[in-house]
Every structure is written in C-alpha cells, then in structure tokens.
Structure 1
Amino acid sequence: MAVRRLLTISSFLLVLVLAIQPGVSGAVPQSSKKKTKSSKKQTHSSRLSPAALRKLQHMNRAFVASADLKPMAQQLLQFRPAQAYAGVEAYARKHQKDEAGPLAWMVLGYAHYLDKDYAQSLTDFQKANALQPVLGDYLDYLRASDYEGQQDTTSILKILQGFEEKYPDSLFVHDATLLYADAQAASGSPQKAAAFLEKHRQPTRADIEFALAKAYLKAGETTKATEIYRRLFYEMPLSPEADNAAVELHNMGEAVPAGSFEQRHARASMLLKNKRYTQAVAEFSSLVEQGPSASLPELQVEFATALYRDRKRDEAKKLFDALSQNQNASAEVRAQALYFLAEVARDKDDRDRHSQLISQLRTLAPDSVWFQEALLSAGNMYLLRKDMESAQRFYAEIFERQRNGRFSPYAHWKAAWLNYRLGKKDDAKRLFEEQIAFYPGSAEAANALYWRGRMAEEDHDLPVARAYYQKLSENFRYFYYANLGRDRLIKIGFTDVGEPPVLNKLKPLGLPAQTWEPPVDNLRVKRAQVLANAALYDFAVKEIQAAAEGSPPWEAVGTAQIYADSGSYNRAIETLKRAVPNYFSADLNQLPRPVWENLFPRPYWEDLKKHSLLNQLDPFLVASLIRQESEFNPAAYSRANAMGLMQLLPTVGKGMAKEVKLRGFSNTELFVPNINLQLGTRYFKRMVDHYNGQVEYALAAYNAGEDRVDEWRKANNFKDVEEFVESIPFTETREYVQAIKRNAVLYKLLYPKG
C-alpha cells in the first residue's frame, strides 16, 4: 500500500496557475530576493596598482557621464544618416567638459571611418584624445586604420611603433602586428616585415603565416615563402589562407602544392571531418591511386564516405560494394561499408537488400558503432513507414546489446513509446520505469515520468500518478512534460501521493552555484561597459569575453546584455543557452531577472501583441513561435528561403499580403518586423482555424506542412493531442512543437501583466 502524504508542490502549482491567468499580476517576482554569496559585489580595488586604479576611476566617470549616448550612437553607427552625425556631434560639443564628449567624438570618428571619410575620421579621433589613458589602444589602432585607407604607410609605422609594448593587454595586438608588418613591406622593407612577423609566430595563426610568406616572397626568399605556403595548405586546410596559399604557389609554378603522402592524407581527412565534402573528394581521388597497399582499404572507405556525403551515391556504392567483399580489409572498414550500403538501400526503398545488409552487419561487427548506427537508422526508417512493430524491434536491439551505448537512452525511449502506442501495456510500463531507472539523466526521463503517470491514471491508481507528476515537476520544472504533468495534477488533486521506488533513482538536475555579478574592479568589464555606451558593441563583446580566465557566468550575462542592447537578440539567446543549458529545470528565483529576460525577450512587443490579438492568437504563443523560428532576428533567412521574424516563404507572404490588401508588396518587406508580424500572424491564424483551434496541430503544420500533419493524424488513432505530439515522426517537428508550448508558459510566468 503506497504511503499517502500531502503533495508538497501544491503551493507552487497555485502560484503557477495564478501567474498564467490573464489579468493576474504580481505572481512572479521581477527580480530575485534571494541573496547568496555569489550575488554579492566583490570589492577588491585595493588589489589594483595606482595607475590601474586611476584608469578604473576614469572609466567609471566615462561610463556614468555617457549613459544617454547609446541610442544616438547606435543610430549613427547602424545607418549613418546626416541627422545622426549632427546629433552625435551636438552631444559631443555639449559634453566637451566631461568624459562623455571624447567618447562621442570617438563614435563620430569610427562612423566616418566606416564611411571611408578617413580625413574627417582622423580629425574626430584627435578630439577624442582625452580618452588616451583608458582607450589609447583603440584610438591608435583606429587612426592607423585610417592611414591604411589613405595608403599612408609612413604614418602607420609611426603610430604603431611599439604598440605591443605600450599596450601589452590590448585586443588589437594581433591586428596591429599584421598592419604594421604590411606597412613595412609596402614601404620597401620586406626583410624587416619578415623579421618582425617571425617574433609573432606563436601561437600559430594562419593570417600571420600568410603575411610572413608574402614578406619573404617580396624579399626574394622564395624557399622560405614556399615552405610556409605549403604548410598552410596542408596543415590549416580550413582557413581562407589555405586557398590563397594554393593560388600563390600556382603563381610560383606549382600547379598542385607539393607535399608528402602523409600531409595530403591529413588534409583530406580534415576536410572530410569538417564537412568540406567536395574538396575532400578531390583530395582522396588522387590519394587512393598512390596510397600504399597496406592502408588502401582505409583510404578507400574515406573516399567512398566523401563521395556519399557529396551526393555522388552511385560512385560511392561501387566502392562500398568492393570494400564490403574485401577480405583483406579490417572488420571496421567492412562494417562502415555495410552501413553506408544499407543507407543506399534505404534511400532506394530496397527493403530486402536493406534487411540483408543489416544481417551481414549483425554477423560481422555486432559491437561496432556502425551496427548501432544502422539499427537506429532502420528504426527511424520503419517508424516513417508507420511499421511500429518493426521499428520498436530495431530500437530495442540497440539498448539490449549496449545498455550504455551512445544511442541507448533515445532508442530505449522510442521502444517504450512504441510499445505504449501498440497497446502493450505491461511492456510499456516496464520500459517507462526502466527509462527512469537506467537513464535518469537522459532527455527522455521527463517523457517517461509523464506517460507512466498517465498509465497509472488509466489504471485508476491516482496516488501513483500523482507521485510521477510531482517528481516530474520537481526535477524538470519548466520542461514541456512538467507543464503537462502539473495540468494533470490540477485535474486529479494534490493530496494522497504514492511512493514508487523507481523515483528514488532521479536526482534533481538543478543548477550549480553561480557568480552572476562581475568583479567591480575588472578593467575589461568596465571598458566593455563604456564601449557599449558608445554602441561599439563588437568591441565591447570582445572586451568582456577577454575579462576572465575560463567562462564565468557573469561573462555570458554581460555578453548577452550587450547583444540584446545592440538588437542581436538571437545572439543573446544563444549565448545564455550555452552558459545555462539546464535553465528549464531552474526556479525563476534561481537565475537573475536579466538572464530570464534575455533568454525570453520581447522585442517588437506592441506590434506583436496588436497583430496577435487582431487574429485571436495568444501573444505569448506567437512570441514563443518567433523565438523558435528566428530568435527575434528580423533579417533571418533560411536555406528554404523563409524570411524574417516568423520565417515566411515569399509565396506565403505574397498570398497573405493580398488578403490584407497590402499594396505594392515585395519579398524584401518580409524583413520589416511589423509587416512580417502582420502577415505571419494571419498565416498562423489560418492554420489554427484549419485545426479547429488545436494549436499543437497548427504548430506542427507551420513546421512540417499541413499535408504531413493531416497524413499523420489520419494514419493513427490518437487518444489525445499529447499522444499526437509525442508520435510526430520528424524529430525536428516534434521538438519544435514541444519547445513552443513550453516557452509560452515561461513567457506568461515572466510577464504576467502581458
């Protein structure tokens, strides 16, 4: 008999329900009240030297004085209209007696540099000289860049002489080195340029090496130049300089860069590994003709793989066929060949041949990663063909052979789910519980908790159902299935909870202790803040990313805020996703409010809300959809030609524009946020109406198309929409729907007043 106890999550659920109800405010704190050691500001200014302390104080004054410069500086640097120039200049003159004035002149200088008005840029930078103690490296390097535009090598050499000694910690040391050496070579001293660059070869960088080779060539030292060009071509094949080196060598008489077999093989393998398939094919095609017989099968399988990836499938198949029958080839090579042959058979829908190849792999290399790959591909193939029995057998074989294999957690979940869909209740229960016990840290553990709870409900064992839903909510706070689990708890009540032993396997994902506040005495952080006030965002990001060893959380927070201030919301979101990967398992008060707001931003909110409500859509759902589609990048352009915030195809945009009587519509207007929102919300509304208001179907159709969604619904007998979502055969579409539904809940919690 399960122990019955009061559901401790009830108070949390009450807050959650109140927070997401329209018109209810104040349910979510706007900032964390919880204070931890990590949130206390650090005051270590005493560690700074007197010079550094003076610099910090100067930057503090500049930061405070220039707080209102950012909007006009951003407009100037982004668009550079005449009125913006005039506005920033007026600001500079108004603030000529404080630190904001020189910063404004620096903005003007950089804007004129971007407009290639180098003479005026130099004049403006001269007026920014008061910043020399704190941003001297910026002023010197940017002046040198102006002189480069004027082809004034003498002035470049003068201003950059001793740059590295003067500014040893500058982020411009590398670029200044290249510019100084180029000026030396251009002024008739290539030997000096080469000697200067030789001192800067560590760590190895392709651009330094290429500049050094050019200097040696200009100095007449052809042998040294040739050696460097060849090394660039073979050892750094992914760099732009590698292709340029090949051009230089060709001009010197080498049609193909000379290199050893080992060098050529290393280059080809690196190209293949980094998905440069066309280039890899070209390299391997000659290698296989000249390679030693002992390593020929390994070369051939790499070549065949490159051909397959480069969509030269017939050529690849011939080579894989030969390799699969080559008794001199290793078992690993033959297994790889069999895997790709199975993929070719799958592509051609040759089921008998596919089955034969899987059997051969099972006999030849049952423990090979290629066999695991083949089993996974086979399971996916039969799932797409709606053959659930066959699909679950292949998925089951993966984890039965290797419980802790790379694909085992996912395959175990797919087998569990397909048993559930096939009505094999006992097997499904066992597999759901195994998923929790064997793979408690897997992404699918939340799925198993929810559906095991649903099965307990179906068996009228409500205490056990509540236990699964409670654990789901505790461990996976804002995951898609945790939100669904709380909905079920609201329906079946909060009291009388069982204690299934398997739940003891689960440990909260949680978040490690974080230091969210940057050190107050970090000069780079303060410099980044000053540069951000000047809307010099790229420079500001580089400064804050160089502000500490490793990647402390405060660095990501600062970087994301700079990106958000610049309007690059997508880059802010991605920065924080990498820094806090488990944020969906955190309570709202575990992360600072700015972190949540930059993870779930609301740009264009008034237009978004207006067009959503005009189409009877939930604005938070639309915001969540946009976050998934473009991450609020209005210039987003996909490989499928989808455009703008809501990623509309031109044909869709044209059709919607006609419906709303938007005259003179052109495709480029899809990059205009207000127009994209107007047309996108109307398009999404049509889909919602098509599915009688069921947004999960509409979201799936928005991603995969209405025809596919209609086919999936028709081919299966789903008990409810949750079964449909989990059964979507396209991983991308399934995760897309779940993410948007999940994110909409967080939007409502974060912004309860709308």
Structure 2
Amino acid sequence: MQLLRGRRWIVLVVVLVVIAGIGVVTFLQRGRLVSPRKEANVPQKPEAPPDLAKLRDAFTAGVEAMAHDDGAEAVKRFSSFTFGNRAVEEYRLYYLANAYQLTGDSERARVTLAALWRRDPQLIYAHDAAFNLANLYTALGDRDHAADVYATLARRAGEPAVAASARWATTVARVQTGDVSGAFFAARNILIESPRAPEAANAVAFVHAITGTTDNDPLPLTPSERVTRGVAFLAAGDPQNALDELNLVAPSAPASLHLQVELQRGLALSQLRRYEDSNKILEPLTSVYFKYSIPALRCAARNYAILSASIDPNVNKVIKEKKQVGTTKVRVGKGKAKKTVTKPKFQTVSKTVKLVDLAKKKKKDEYDRLASERLKDLLSLPIDDDVRFETLNALADRAIAKNQIDYLQQVVPQIVKLDTFADPALQYLWDRAWAAYTRSDLAGARTQFRFIADTYTQANVRRQSEYWYARTVERLGGKAEAAAIYQKLANGPYVDLYARHSIARGAKRVDIKSNPLEKQGADWREIAEKQMPRELELAYELTALSSMRDALLETRKNTNRSNTRFAEALMADYYNSTSDEQLMYRSLKRAWPQLATVDQDTVPAYFLRMYYPLRYGDDIEKYSKKNGVDPNVVRGLILQESYYNPEAKSGVGATGLMQLMPATAAEHARHLHVPFATSRLENPTVNVELGTYHLRMLMNLFGGNVDLAVASYNAGQGNVMKWRRAAPHKPMDEFLESIPFPETRNYVKRVRMLQSSYARINGEGTT
C-alpha cells in the first residue's frame, strides 16, 4: 500500500511537471515571455546627387577618423577626392586642415586653410578657420598676414562679438608689426561697431593712449561715427547708452544726419518704454523718405498698440445701498387697537459695480485707432515681404478683435498670396460659417463657405469648405450645382472623409490603384539641386553626405521665413536619421503641407516613404483579419497614435503602437485569455492584437460605423455615445463636423485620409 501511494505521488509530480512544461511551451510559442519584437527602423539614407553619393563613404570615413583623432587616416581620406565647385568643398578643406594639424604638419594645414579663406567661406566654422589660420601665420612669424586675416574676418563677420574679437586681434598684430595707424583704425572700429563687446574697454584705453586723451574726454569720433555707435548700442540691447550717444550728436548733427538721428532716438525711446516720447519724435518721420518712414511707422504702430493695451477703462466702484434682508414683527397702534404687524427689514450693504471711465476709454480708442492707421499707412509703402506679412497679420488680428468681417476678408487673401500655405483667421472664419449653417442662415453660410474655399490653398480646408458649400446649396435647392461638387470631391486621388460623404450623397467614384511611392516625376534630388536657397546649399549637401551633425548646425544657422519649407525638409532628414519620429513628422508637415491630403502625390516619393512607414505588416494583417477590421484603418490609427514607435507612452499612460490604456488592455487580455502585464504593451504583437480587438469592440458598439468607432478611439466611447444620444437624428456628416472636441473632429478626418493613403500604397485601390 505504501509502495502504491509512493507511485501515485511520483505519477502526480510527473503529470504536474508535464502540464507546466506544456504551459511554458505554449506561452513561449505565443511570444508572451520574449522581449518586445521591435522591427528595426533603419532610416533610409538621404537622397543624394550622383557625385555626392559616390563620395559619401569617403567623406564619412574622414569625419569618423577626425572623431577618433586619427589625423593620418583623415588626411588620407580627405585628400583622396574633391567636391569641386560645390559649397561642401569648404568642409573638406576645413577638415583636411584640421587633420594636417593632428599629424603636426602645420605647413600643409596653413596652405589648406589659406585656400579655404580665399573662397570667402560660409560654413559655420568660418570664424574658427580664420582664427586658426591667423594663429598659424603668427607661429610662423608672419604677423602681417595674420593681421590681414583678422581684418578680413572683422569685415565679413555678421556678429558684433566676433567682429570685435577679430578687430582687437588686428590691433595687437598691427602694433607688433609697427603699423600704429592700422592698429588705431581697428581699435576705433571696435568703439564704433561693437561698443558693448568685452574688447571695448581695451579699445578705449588704446585710443586714449594714442590720442593723449583721458577717460573724461569725449571719444574722437565724427557725428556719423557716433550715430553708428548709437545704432550698435541699440542693436546690443542697450537703449539708454544709445540714447545718450544720439543726444550728444543731435544738436550739432549735419542736415544729412538729422533724420537718421531722430529715427534712432525714437527707436531708443521705444525700447526704454517711453512710448509717448518715442511717438512725438517718430510721427514727423512717417511722411519723409521711405528708409526713415517705414521703420518709423512700424515702431509708432507698435507704440500705439502697447499704449492702448496698457489702459483699462473699466473701474470698480463700491456703492452703498439699502437692501431688504428679511422681515421683522413690530407692535403698532395704541390701547386696544395695538397689534403686531410684519415689516420689511433693511440693511445697508456695500456693492461693487463696474463702471467705464469715459475719458480713459476715449484715450484707449484713440491709441487703438492710431495703431491701425499707422499699420495701414505702412502697407501703402514699398515694404519687403517679411514686413508686409507681419503688418497684414497684425491688421487681421485687429479685425478679428473688432469683428470687422469685411475688412478681414480683404486682408486674408493678401496674406495667403505671400505665404501659400498660411491660414490666417481660418478658425474664426470657419466658426462663423458653421454657426450660420447650423442656425439655418443658409445665405450667409453659402457666402462664407465660398470665401474659405476660394481663399485658402490647403487641400483639407478647401475640400471641407467645398463640401459644406455644396450641402448649403443643396438645401437651398441647387441640386445640380451640389451634385457637380460632390462628384469633383469623390474623384480625388484619395478617399478622404469628404469624398466618403460625397459618395454617400450619390457621387460615383472610379478606383485608383497606382502606388504613389512608384510615381514618376521630379524627385527630391532634382528639386533640391535646382531650387535649394543658396544659404541652405551647405546644409543640403552635408545632409546628402549623411554628415547630420554639421547639417543640423548649418540648417539652424541659415533658416528664415522665406526658406522655411526647404529648411524643414532638411530637418526631417536629420530627425529621421536619429529616429525621432515625433519631430520628424512635425518637420515633414511643415516642409510638405500636402502630406496627408489629397494633394500629397505632389510630394517627392522620398518623403512619402518617410511619412508612411510599412512596419509590423504581418501582425497588422493577421489581427485585423482575425477581428474583422480594415488593416489600413489600423495602420492609420498607429501612425496617428504613435508614429509606429512601439515604446511610445502618452502623459496619461497610453502605451505602444495603438496607445492602449493599461486597464483597457488588461480587460481585453482577460477576455482573450492572453497573459498580460503593462510592460508587455510595448510588444508590437501583443499591442496590435489587443488594439484591433478594441477597435472591433467599438465598431460593434456603434453598429459597424467606422467613423464613430474611430472617434471613440480618440475621445472615449462614453463621450461619443453621449453626443450621439443628444442628436440621434442628425445626419452623420453634420454630426461628425459638430463633435465638440476639435481634436476628435480632426482625428477622424486624419485617420480616414491615412487609411486611404495606405490602401493605395499597398496596391488595394482607394474605394
């Protein structure tokens, strides 16, 4: 019997071990215990012209050798080729010179830097190259050439601090060569051009020593030089010293300098926040030569706006008044006629009332009127595009504040003409149009939707307003006109939300199956070679060579309003190389606003591939099919939610590709009998399985309606159910456009557009 019991225990142990082993094997087979399977996101190499692509490896090897202080290898690499007339030749020469120095070959380093300096280099290290070259000349005992390099750098340098440092080095070098006159000239220029630089104190002492003057004596400067010195103080953020300098020269300034002195005095007073005094000087200048009237008008308008904003005409006044606070019983009458009556009980209370100080309001309104007038005066002058853009936007803001719709509609097209993808006052105008539509002011809505559609160029804005214009016209009885617009919207190259709405209203669609990644046409290399702004050529060529650190520095240094789109394209390449998806997508949209719109086929395929990742395809297809959802909707959700980053985590804890909340994911995992831990949401397979199940659940909740399911994915099913219950009979297009959360409204539109994009990319057509 004991032997039998022992055998039973042995059998039981064996069975338990086998069961446990099967469980572990099953667990491992399901991929539940392995670390997250993150598909490698290897950034594509930047597109490069053939000549740069051919030299990319050699250049990269040279840069890497420099990073390891291997001068000999760097010399070997950088001396094995040349970029010819390309801007990036400056970098080859710069690095080659540094490599020679690492090997101790100062002679070749000096010759190479001299060749670079003769090119008038624009690279970000130009100042370093100049100081290095001058030091090599000095070490050789050739102080004349060193002084010449310093003096040239001072002329070329745009930064006052660099110019001051170069001029002081020139002063020292000229003294060492016996050229006292040249030294004196360089020192005086520090006092004139860079009076706030650290070298200015030494320059003052040197000038006093040469001229035999003391600190109590005025600097030996001409009136013109004093004006330049005042302007330099102003540029350095020292308006008080600027004003003092200008006040010194004002009484004796020749007629040719009078307007310049007055303008700079007005600007200095504005910086000192003496706005009234500033405008007293600037107002007479607003009708003189353009070179003075334009800056005077800009500053005066700004002064008036600040003065207006500083006045609050509303005042609080405390008044006292009697207020009934209840009742009281009192005895009245005499003798037998005496009786108790109820009388109201009063109490004196203090009350604060808001009043308008009419004098203050009048002054505020006057300043506001003058600010607007000066801005309009400025528009009538031959100002550059940057100033015009700034002025028009300021006037648009004022028109919105005053609800001046007619004037706003004059200004907005002018802004869009300057910047094709600008959207000034768009939200304000859209809100007005939509409000008119919802209150059945169809005539007003029709006019406003038409203005938006005809004015703004962004495809999403244009199609949205076109669709609602058609809906308005249809409600007014213009069925033929509306049908033509629906057909036009349905025929777009992608099925965005408005194409779907149009099809639902009877428009027919022909499927488009061409892959936008395989389209023929100008690629990024051709565009960049022909259109890249000159100041960004270095950044582009460095990007093409995969020298991303230097490309980043060059891009940041040279970005301005007019070249923003090219600069952002280069920044997208940089962020792609560092796998920073969020910043990459931000730059891509700034560079190519057509992305994620029906116009995106005009974007080079290189950037389309960057924008639309194709990772985790097996998991997406498998679990989308299992849960009966469109895999391209899932791809769109993933792109919108996490940019295909499996480790993405939101501020509220949503995790992974499909940004699932841990509590929701845990509930789904229990239902699916999937072992779960919050950290496992970073496993793409687990995340996609649970995410597609969640999407299916939402679709079931809303009767298979994808749009409502997608809205719930963003805003929460409770919110969407509440909104739908409040408007159960509202047409679906109106309901989606009326979603209270702007983020959710845009989310649905964007996911639908991304769905259609992935459908074409995957060769599935767009219907």
Relative to the length of structure 1, the TM-score reads 0.52
The letter for the 2-side match of 1:746 is: S
CA distance in 2, matches of 1:347, 1:178: 59
Contact 1:432–1:449 under 8 Å retained in 2? yes
Asked if residue 212 in structure 1 is aligned to residue 173 in structure 2, the reply is: no
Q: Structure 1 residue 456: deviation in Å?
A: 3.8
- Which of 236, 239, 243 lines up with 1:284 in the alignment? 239
Counterpart of 2:760? Answer: 749
- Deviations 1:536-559 (CA, angstroms, capped at 9, x unpaired): 4457899999xxxx99x9999999
Question: What are the within-5 Å matches in structure 2 for residues 121-136 of structure 1?
Answer: 121-125=70-74, 128=77, 131-132=80-81
- Which of 585, 600, 606 lines up with 1:594 in the alignment? 606
CA distance in 2, matches of 1:651, 1:348: 45
The letter for the 2-side match of 1:419 is: A
Of all paired residues, the percent bearing the same amino acid is 17
The alpha-carbon distance between structure 1 residues 226 and 291, as it changes in their structure 2 partners (threshold 3 A), is closer
Q: Structure 1 residue 487: deviation in Å?
A: 1.0
The letter for the 1-side match of 2:408 is: F
- Which of 160, 178, 184 lines up with 2:112 in the alignment? 160
Asked if residue 470 in structure 1 is aligned to residue 487 in structure 2, the reply is: yes
CA distance in 2, matches of 1:581, 1:540: 23
Contact 2:308–2:367 under 8 Å retained in 1? no
Q: Structure 1 residue 229: deviation in Å?
A: 3.9
Contact 1:602–1:623 under 8 Å retained in 2? no
Counterpart of 2:199? Answer: 248
CA distance in 2, matches of 1:195, 1:486: 67
Question: What are the within-5 Å matches in structure 2 for residues 648-667 of structure 1?
Answer: 648-649=650-651
- Which of 131, 135, 147 lines up with 1:182 in the alignment? 135
Contact 1:156–1:180 under 8 Å retained in 2? no
Contact 2:436–2:444 under 8 Å retained in 1? yes
The alpha-carbon distance between structure 1 residues 494 and 722, as it changes in their structure 2 partners (threshold 3 A), is closer
The letter for the 2-side match of 1:749 is: R
CA distance in 2, matches of 1:201, 1:493: 71
Q: Structure 1 residue 398: deviation in Å?
A: 3.2
Contact 2:399–2:405 under 8 Å retained in 1? no
Asked if residue 490 in structure 1 is aligned to residue 508 in structure 2, the reply is: no
The alpha-carbon distance between structure 1 residues 456 and 336, as it changes in their structure 2 partners (threshold 3 A), is same
CA distance in 2, matches of 1:301, 1:711: 59
- Deviations 1:513-543 (CA, angstroms, capped at 9, x unpaired): 8465649999x9xx99998898544578999
CA distance in 1, matches of 2:448, 2:191: 57
Unaligned 5+ runs, structure 1? 1-40, 44-55, 67-102, 235-244, 271-278, 308-315, 382-392, 497-510, 635-643, 662-672
- Which of 223, 247, 253 lines up with 2:184 in the alignment? 223
The letter for the 1-side match of 2:610 is: N
Asked if residue 454 in structure 1 is aligned to residue 471 in structure 2, the reply is: yes
- Deviations 1:445-499 (CA, angstroms, capped at 9, x unpaired): 434212112324555755433323334466x866xxx822211122122269xxx
CA distance in 2, matches of 1:519, 1:335: 40
The alpha-carbon distance between structure 1 residues 578 and 403, as it changes in their structure 2 partners (threshold 3 A), is closer
Higher strand share: 2
CA distance in 1, matches of 2:94, 2:764: 48
The alpha-carbon distance between structure 1 residues 288 and 529, as it changes in their structure 2 partners (threshold 3 A), is closer
Q: Structure 1 residue 623: deviation in Å?
A: 1.1
Contact 1:197–1:208 under 8 Å retained in 2? no
The alpha-carbon distance between structure 1 residues 290 and 537, as it changes in their structure 2 partners (threshold 3 A), is closer
SS at match of 1:394: coil
The range that moved more, 532-541 or 449-458, is: 532-541
Question: What are the within-5 Å matches in structure 2 for residues 540-579 of structure 1?
Answer: 564=576, 567=579
SS at match of 1:219: helix
CA distance in 1, matches of 2:493, 2:234: 44
Asked if residue 425 in structure 1 is aligned to residue 442 in structure 2, the reply is: yes
Counterpart of 2:306? Answer: 340
Unaligned 5+ runs, structure 2? 1-47, 176-182, 206-214, 251-258, 287-296, 316-353, 377-390, 416-423, 510-518, 533-537, 557-561, 667-680, 703-707
The alpha-carbon distance between structure 1 residues 679 and 468, as it changes in their structure 2 partners (threshold 3 A), is same
Counterpart of 1:503? Answer: none
Contact 2:655–2:661 under 8 Å retained in 1? yes
SS at match of 1:247: coil
- Which of 147, 155, 160 lines up with 1:194 in the alignment? 147
The alpha-carbon distance between structure 1 residues 595 and 249, as it changes in their structure 2 partners (threshold 3 A), is same
The letter for the 1-side match of 2:487 is: Q
The alpha-carbon distance between structure 1 residues 267 and 196, as it changes in their structure 2 partners (threshold 3 A), is closer
Q: Structure 1 residue 113: deviation in Å?
A: 3.0
The alpha-carbon distance between structure 1 residues 436 and 593, as it changes in their structure 2 partners (threshold 3 A), is closer
Q: Structure 1 residue 597: deviation in Å?
A: 1.1
Using CA pairs under 8 Å that are at least 6 residues apart, name the structure with larger relative contact order, 1 or 2. Answer: 1
Contact 2:110–2:137 under 8 Å retained in 1? no
Contact 2:154–2:164 under 8 Å retained in 1? no
Question: What are the within-5 Å matches in structure 2 for residues 630-669 of structure 1?
Answer: 648-649=650-651
SS at match of 1:131: coil
CA distance in 1, matches of 2:764, 2:96: 49
Question: What are the within-5 Å matches in structure 2 for residues 436-451 of structure 1?
Answer: 436=453, 444-451=461-468
CA distance in 1, matches of 2:593, 2:117: 40
The letter for the 1-side match of 2:306 is: F
Contact 1:42–1:519 under 8 Å retained in 2? no
CA distance in 2, matches of 1:330, 1:718: 64
Relative to the length of structure 2, the TM-score reads 0.51
- Deviations 1:160-216 (CA, angstroms, capped at 9, x unpaired): 365349999997994644432233345654442122344567755448745632531
The letter for the 2-side match of 1:594 is: Y
Contact 1:122–1:146 under 8 Å retained in 2? yes
The letter for the 2-side match of 1:182 is: N
CA distance in 2, matches of 1:714, 1:380: 35
The letter for the 1-side match of 2:407 is: I
SS at match of 2:507: coil
